[in-house]
């Protein structure tokens, strides 16, 4: 800037420079990623609508699963405690079964162990029995010729056994057919899957491309992609799910050398979840903690139901607090009851707030108090969050895109055993505070920029962008001759070109308006993806203390690997005492000439001058730093290179 600019004006100009740089950075990022699938699914208006419709449909399906389990008493005696881990796993598997298409054919007692959902699955095999013929042949209509030969051999053996036992051939055959009809078909555990994991998927590769590639292999079910990672050039992780019956290792081998858009997939087999039920602090059994968890989980259910548009229009009120069965009469369990009057009359009331860590009462030990009724209410809320909204409350997180993952109801965190050691009121207060802080991102709505901030960062107006588009496509060739580049037609005046574009190229004008909405959606997102910020440079290495030779940044332990104390040279090969460093001004160990220092006197060995003579100006200036020497630490003990 010119010299006449004062400090205030310079700061103002610098702030404007940073704002312009930020605007350009946002525009460049948008242009770089606007054609990629992950970016369009988040901000493009058409993709947002399709994604919202799909997510709401999946959410309502999960709600139907929860209501089915609730109506069939699956949640009646369910407790989110580690002691009930087998029952919790069966509940999660039942929810996964209900998410499958035609799941009613696969809910069987052999898998889930619940009589309410037990369905007799019988495949009646039609067998033709000939009473007149001496040789009866029972076979399925779809059996092959080889299977028929095997059955004939088996029947011959059975006939010989019948003759020995004295049982008639007709009676024996009727008994076998009756047993086969009554025996139910063994259902397959369709909630179990197998999957492949791909570590790095380029951002330009779409989900449809991966699906089309993997669908060629038998047993393919679905593909799940994670959110892009800015620190890894927006690459994504991928899980490809297959049916449990396939040979997953063979499929993995077939995909090893396949390239997708010049990128090797390099899949690996994804292992099953080792511990589906995991524990948290046993302090969660304590009654005040349970009541606080009920309050937070009820808020979370209410917020997520409104976001997902659940329980809307089912009764007169649109408030989910009055329609969701898990929130029915929830306020009865949120109000705390105390004996304040009795404590006041008996003189047992204490002063101070027990939640304050500085208060002596906060350090007093308290007894863990449990309330089974409150725990039952809390567990109903937590199971609703887990099965419907994929929120693991005790882990303070949401499992995104769980319906596309290999395990649709995989992990859940439950209460651990009661604490053995004594707890204090301060620990209880600290735990409650931690829960609120970690649940805050789930409770807070999606953040958007204010209109003022959006305007500062370059929010676009649709009509202004349309005018720019019309002006850019109205070119003057000569006097009274104007060109429309979109069609190549010529007109006598610019207003005719404008009218032509609006009438004949309305799709392109609509695309401009849609592009503006696309960019504004990206701009208004307060948590929009961005390039990772440059990390600050590491702090400079600590300078070597005076008299400590060695490489820069080298520790004293490394400097004394030869067995000699720091600052002492090893003895000469022919014997003699070890020489201290820099005893002579010259020598091969001095590198001042290479470093541009002022040297004195020419002379041997590296331009070092006479013994004891000052070789540079550092001693004159009073610089306390000593000259750094470099030695080969790998040299043998009996050889001195310096």
Of the candidate ranges 31-45, 557-571, 619-633, the one whose mean pLDDT is the lowest: 557-571
Taking the C-alpha atoms of residue 61 and residue 49, their distance in angstroms, rounded to an integer, is: 19
Looking up tokens 């009473």 gives 131
Nearest 5°: phi and psi at 475? -110, 135
Residues 303-351: pLDDT tens digits? 999 888 888 755 433 444 457 888 888 887 777 666 667 667 777 655 4
Which pLDDT value is given to residue 611? 45
Taking the C-alpha atoms of residue 89 and residue 276, their distance in angstroms, rounded to an integer, is: 7
In 3D space, the residue among 122, 61, 66 whose CA is nearest the CA of residue 94 turns out to be 66
pLDDT band of residue 499 (cuts 50, 70, 90) is: very high
Q: Which is it for the CA torsion 29, 33, 38, 42, positive or negative?
A: positive
Higher pLDDT, 279 or 557: 279
Task: Please report how the helices 85-99 and 45-71 are oriented relative to each other, as an axis angle in degrees rounded to 10.
Answer: 130
Is the model's pLDDT at 172 over the cut of 90? no
Mean pLDDT of the 567-580 span = 49
Taking the C-alpha atoms of residue 365 and residue 353, their distance in angstroms, rounded to an integer, is: 15
Which pLDDT value is given to residue 361? 54
Which pLDDT value is given to residue 323? 78
Of the candidate ranges 156-165, 571-580, 587-596, the one whose mean pLDDT is the lowest: 587-596
Residues 180-196: pLDDT tens digits? 555 555 556 667 899 99
Mean pLDDT of the 389-401 span = 92
Mean pLDDT of the 537-566 span = 51
Q: How many CA atoms lie within 13 A of 215 on its CB side?
A: 7
CA dihedral 379, 384, 386, 391 (to 10 degrees): -100
Residues 437-488: pLDDT tens digits? 999 989 887 778 888 889 999 999 999 999 999 999 999 888 889 999 999 9
Taking the C-alpha atoms of residue 159 and residue 167, their distance in angstroms, rounded to an integer, is: 9
Determine the longest span between alpha carbons in the chain, in angstroms: 129
Give me the helices (H) in 476-632, please: 494-504, 506-524, 556-559, 604-607, 618-621
Q: How many CA atoms lie within 13 A of 343 on its CB side?
A: 8
Determine the length of the chain: 642
Residues 6+ apart with CB under 8 A from 438: 396
Cβ atoms < 10 Å from Cβ of 243: 15
Mean pLDDT of the 518-535 span = 85
In 3D space, the residue among 517, 499, 523 whose CA is nearest the CA of residue 449 turns out to be 523
Is the model's pLDDT at 387 over the cut of 90? yes
Is the model's pLDDT at 26 over the cut of 90? yes
Which pLDDT value is given to residue 386? 95
Query: What percent of the chain has pLDDT above 70?
Result: 64
Domains in the chain, please, with CATH? 14-117 (no CATH), 193-270 (3.30.70.330), 451-524 (no CATH), 551-567+579-617 (no CATH)
Mean pLDDT of the 572-581 span = 48
| Residue pair 237/198 in contact by the 8 Å Cβ criterion | yes
Higher pLDDT, 14 or 147: 14
Taking the C-alpha atoms of residue 501 and residue 186, their distance in angstroms, rounded to an integer, is: 67
pLDDT band of residue 155 (cuts 50, 70, 90) is: low
Which pLDDT value is given to residue 512? 94
Which pLDDT value is given to residue 165? 52
Task: Please report how the helices 372-388 and 45-71 are oriented relative to each other, as an axis angle in degrees rounded to 10.
Answer: 140
Which pLDDT value is given to residue 531? 80
| Residue pair 238/197 in contact by the 8 Å Cβ criterion | yes
| Residue pair 552/625 in contact by the 8 Å Cβ criterion | no
Is the model's pLDDT at 164 over the cut of 60? no
Taking the C-alpha atoms of residue 572 and residue 552, their distance in angstroms, rounded to an integer, is: 26
Residues 6+ apart with CB under 8 A from 510: none
Mean pLDDT of the 496-524 span = 93
Is the model's pLDDT at 150 over the cut of 90? no
User: What average pLDDT does the structure give for the chain?
Assistant: 76
Residues 6+ apart with CB under 8 A from 482: 474, 475, 476, 490, 491, 492, 493, 494, 496, 497
pLDDT band of residue 157 (cuts 50, 70, 90) is: low
Which pLDDT value is given to residue 631? 65
Mean pLDDT of the 41-59 span = 91
pLDDT band of residue 584 (cuts 50, 70, 90) is: very low
Is the model's pLDDT at 519 over the cut of 90? yes
Mean pLDDT of the 121-132 span = 40
Of the candidate ranges 145-159, 355-369, 439-453, the one whose mean pLDDT is the lowest: 145-159
Of the candidate ranges 72-86, 274-288, 295-309, 346-360, the one whose mean pLDDT is the lowest: 346-360
Taking the C-alpha atoms of residue 598 and residue 614, their distance in angstroms, rounded to an integer, is: 10
Is the model's pLDDT at 396 over the cut of 50? yes
Residues 435-450: pLDDT tens digits? 999 999 898 877 788 8
Mean pLDDT of the 202-228 span = 92
- Residue 252 burial class via C-beta count within 10 angstroms: exposed 0-12, middle 13-18, buried 19 and up: buried
Which pLDDT value is given to residue 367? 85
Which pLDDT value is given to residue 162? 53
Please give the full DSSP string across 377-432, using - where no structure is assigned. HHHHHHHHHHHHS-EEGGGTEE-TTGGGSS-TT--EEEE-PPPSS-EEHHHHHHHH
In 3D space, the residue among 128, 28, 85, 91 whose CA is nearest the CA of residue 531 turns out to be 28
């Amino acid at each position: 800037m010119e010299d006449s600019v004062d400090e205030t004006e310079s700061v103002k100009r610098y702030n404007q420079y940073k704002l312009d740089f930020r605007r350009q950075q946002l525009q460049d990022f948008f242009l770089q990623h606007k054609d990629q699938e992950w970016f369009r699914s988040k901000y493009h208006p058409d993709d947002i609508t399709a994604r919202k419709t799909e997510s709401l449909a999946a959410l309502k399906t999960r709600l139907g699963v929860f209501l089915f389990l609730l109506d069939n008493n699956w949640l009646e005696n369910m407790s989110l405690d580690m002691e009930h881990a087998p029952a919790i796993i069966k509940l999660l598997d039942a929810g996964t079964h209900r998410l499958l298409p035609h799941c009613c054919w696969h809910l069987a007692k052999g898998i889930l162990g619940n009589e309410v959902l037990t369905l007799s699955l019988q495949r009646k095999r039609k067998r033709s029995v000939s009473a007149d013929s001496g040789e009866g042949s029972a076979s399925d209509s779809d059996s092959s010729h080889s299977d028929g030969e095997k059955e004939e051999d088996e029947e011959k053996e059975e006939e010989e056994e019948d003759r020995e036992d004295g049982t008639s051939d007709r009676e024996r055959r009727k008994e076998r057919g009756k047993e086969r009809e009554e025996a139910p078909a063994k259902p397959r555990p369709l909630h179990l899957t197998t999957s492949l994991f791909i570590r790095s998927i380029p951002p330009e590769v779409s989900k449809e491309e991966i699906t089309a590639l993997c669908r060629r292999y038998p047993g393919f079910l679905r593909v799940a992609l994670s959110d892009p990672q800015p620190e890894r050039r927006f690459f994504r992780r991928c899980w490809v799910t297959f049916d449990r019956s396939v040979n997953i290792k063979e499929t993995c081998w077939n995909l090893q050398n396949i390239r997708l858009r010049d990128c090797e997939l390099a899949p690996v087999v994804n292992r099953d979840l080792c511990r589906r039920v995991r524990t948290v602090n046993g302090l969660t059994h304590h009654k005040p903690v349970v009541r606080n968890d009920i309050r937070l989980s009820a808020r979370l259910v209410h917020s997520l139901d409104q976001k997902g548009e659940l329980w809307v229009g089912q009764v007169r009120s649109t408030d989910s607090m009055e329609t969701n069965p898990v929130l029915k009469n929830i306020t009865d369990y949120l109000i705390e009851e105390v004996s304040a009057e009795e404590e006041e009359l008996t003189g047992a009331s204490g002063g101070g707030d027990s939640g304050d860590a500085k208060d002596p009462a906060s350090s007093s030990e308290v007894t863990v108090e449990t309330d089974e009724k409150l725990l039952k209410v809390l567990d109903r809320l937590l199971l609703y969050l887990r099965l419907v909204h994929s929120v693991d409350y005790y882990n303070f997180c949401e499992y995104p895109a769980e319906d596309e993952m290999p395990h649709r109801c995989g992990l859940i965190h439950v209460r651990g055993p009661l604490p053995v050691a004594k707890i204090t009121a301060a620990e209880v207060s600290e735990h409650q505070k931690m829960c609120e802080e970690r649940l805050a991102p789930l409770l807070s709505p999606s953040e958007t920029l204010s209109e003022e901030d959006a305007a500062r960062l370059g929010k676009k107006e649709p009509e202004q962008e349309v005018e720019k588009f019309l002006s850019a496509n109205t070119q003057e060739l000569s006097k009274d001759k104007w060109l429309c580049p979109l069609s190549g037609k010529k007109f006598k005046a610019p207003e005719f070109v404008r009218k032509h574009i609006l009438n004949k190229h309305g799709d392109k004008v609509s695309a401009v308006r849609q592009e503006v909405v696309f960019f504004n959606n990206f701009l208004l997102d307060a948590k929009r993806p961005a390039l990772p910020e440059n990390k600050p440079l590491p702090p400079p290495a600590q300078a070597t203390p005076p008299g400590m030779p060695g490489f820069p940044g080298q520790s004293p332990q490394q400097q004394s690997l030869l067995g000699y104390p720091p600052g002492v040279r090893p003895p000469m090969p022919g014997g003699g005492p070890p020489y201290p460093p820099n005893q002579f001004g010259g020598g091969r160990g001095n590198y001042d000439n290479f470093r541009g220092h002022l040297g004195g006197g020419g002379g041997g060995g590296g331009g070092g001058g006479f013994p004891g003579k000052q070789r540079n100006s550092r001693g004159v200036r009073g610089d306390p730093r000593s000259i750094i020497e470099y030695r080969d630490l790998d040299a043998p003990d009996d050889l001195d290179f310096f």
